[in-house]
Chain A
Amino acid sequence: MKRTLPKEEIKHLGNLSGISLTDEETKTYQKQLSETLDYMENINELPTANTPPTSNVSNLENVFFHDGGENKRGLTQNEALSNTKQKKDGKFLVKRIL
């Protein structure tokens, strides 16, 4: 099944992904994403009516961090802020949202 994703859909996917696209990029991705989708159709050749999905091959279930286990992952406030460009009073500075 050959199809071309409409331009609006590409723009929508750009929005969902938090990226802005030029007109030229939209055109390029429209072609490329449509081609990729066409290739992906081959999985429909394999019947899976009675097959459960696999999300993770490790087959582990309900893995918890042990109570009382030593957790060295925490960062200090200074460490957490060490890579930000904008901070104020020991906090991340972001644009006003209200």
Chain B
Amino acid sequence: MSIFGKSIVELIRLVQEKEISRKELFDYFKRRITKYNPNLNAFLTLAEYQEDTNHGELLGIPLAIKDNFCTKGIRTTASSKVLDNFIPPYESTVTQKLLNQGASILGKTNMDAWAHGNSTETSDYGPTKNPWNTDRSPGGSSGGSAAAISAYLSPAAIGSETAGSIRQPASWCGTVGIKPTYGRVSRYGVIAMGSSLDSPGPLTLTVEDAAFLLKVLAGNDPYDATSSDIPVQDYPSIMTQKKKFTIGFSDEYFDGVNEEIKAKIMEALDVFRRLGHKTKKIKLIPPKYAISVYTILQRAEVSSNLARYDGIRFGNDRRSFGEEAKRRLMFGAYTLSYGYYDAYYKKAQKVRTLIVEDFKRVFSEVDVIVAPTCPITALKLGEFKKYPFFGEIMDVLNEPGAVAGLPAINIPVGLDSVNLPIGLQIMGNYFDEGSILNLAHQFEKETEFFGIIKKGLEKYKDE
């Protein structure tokens, strides 16, 4: 029986019907990792199979976990040599919830060191390669997670996003990826980057899998005081309801976007109209301001969060910080310093309010907002150096929503002329992950993502 390319919902059925055992499933993906990972470098650490009596909803489904989630007894580095030998003595809430449902952890995936970047090139363990074209970057920071599923080294993966780190690699690797509302999924045990922004979420091959996993992950956590106690929606059932939406799109989100990408997004809007949804032009604050707000606030939070790494209690000392972490630490220290605090940090917090209010106004007119996920398709490895802020521009379209804390999903909507995936994002209102999953699912049912996910898997077929 063929396992290749099956979604986790399909795999669960196979385990339920005893077509395959949990151990066989684990070994299948382990074999694939052994074969393909030396080239792709998606995984940094492989886990051992654990016989588990938890049967839960996930029934032993193997998952790839980004290496910034603390996993008890499994090395967790955040791709930084500072944590080269760190074995967490506790479990993050996200991985605990997955384990409670009977998931198996396959291993830990490569990322930009400390999640600083969007190419995985700042990893101290070498970059991950894009399975679509191994000269290209998979995006980042959850690049290892995105590459792992697009080459089917894992049927689904967990990533985290501060601004773009789920959506952008999902877009460049041609997969689904959802960044939930800030506070929807607990940050407890996630190696902190920007604490007012960090949002864990799944990357998957289908929208149904994203809905399924998000339901497992979401919810209030007493160990994360910023997690919300708003009841979790039943995403898998909301996803299949017949709904019609008013979809907003804004010219500001097409500025500087590659023409081929623009065209595919416009075609996708036609698909939405054909499905009976209304589209409406809206006006939003230009995303370039969100870059500044995000850069100032995130660096400030980084300079505080990375202060704890002293090499005394765990890990190596501060000499092991790489170039990007140092740059961010110093920039954060600058904007928080006496004399600059008001001009930068406080000003950025105020503009953040403007961005939040801007989205709130727009969400009184429309149900969801559609935009490109990224202004270009996957860059070649090494090309990032040419861009200012080392890639911050790549996340220009993700940063406004991230700064506001809104949920958003990436779905594949086409290939460009050199056969690289193009992603579209659907942003939703606070805690309305249900609507964006519903619309993404309608698009998937209508188009099957134009066969993009299947095409991506082709090169990595079993013999």
Contact = CB atoms under 8 A, between A and B. Distances in A.
Contacts of B348: 43
A56 B226 contact: yes
B389 interface: yes
A33 B404 CA distance: 25
Interface in A37-60: 37, 39-46, 48, 51-58, 60
B330 A53 contact: no
Interface in A7-51: 9-10, 13-14, 16-21, 25, 29, 32-33, 35-37, 39-46, 48, 51
A33 B420 CA distance: 33
A78 to B, nearest CB: 9
A75 interface: yes
B330 A39 contact: no
Interface in B86-101: 86-87, 89-90
B329 to A, nearest CB: 4
Contact of B354 (A42, A46, A60): A46
Contacts of B296: 40, 43
Contacts of B312: 84, 86, 92, 94
A36 B313 contact: no
B194 to A, nearest CB: 11
A30 to B, nearest CB: 10
Nearest to B329: A17
A45 B318 CA distance: 37
B292 A35 contact: no
Given A43-B347, A46-B351, A55 B330 contact: no
Contacts of B346: 53
Interface in B251-301: 285, 288-289, 291-293, 295-296
A85 B315 CA distance: 8
B349 interface: yes
B196 A57 contact: yes
Interface stretch (B150-158, B319-327, B445-453): B319-327
B329 A53 contact: no
A19 B292 contact: no
Interface residues of B, number: 56
Contacts of B331: 33, 36
A75 B90 CA distance: 8
A13 B334 contact: yes
B13 interface: no
A17 B353 contact: no
Contacts of B86: 83
Interface string B338-361: 000000101111111110100000
Contact of A75 (B89, B327, B332, B389): B89
B196 A42 contact: no
A42 B356 contact: no
B226 A60 contact: yes
B327 A29 contact: yes
B288 A48 contact: no
A42 B330 contact: no
Interface in B180-195: 182-183
Q: Which 4 A-B pairs have the closest CB atoms?
A: A57-B405, A53-B349, A83-B314, A48-B350
Given A53-B350, A86-B312, 4 more contacts: A40-B292, A54-B352, A66-B222, A80-B89
18 contacts: A13-B333, A17-B303, A19-B321, A25-B326, A33-B334, A35-B388, A36-B295, A46-B289, A51-B351, A54-B353, A57-B405, A58-B226, A60-B225, A60-B226, A65-B225, A83-B87, A84-B313, A92-B313
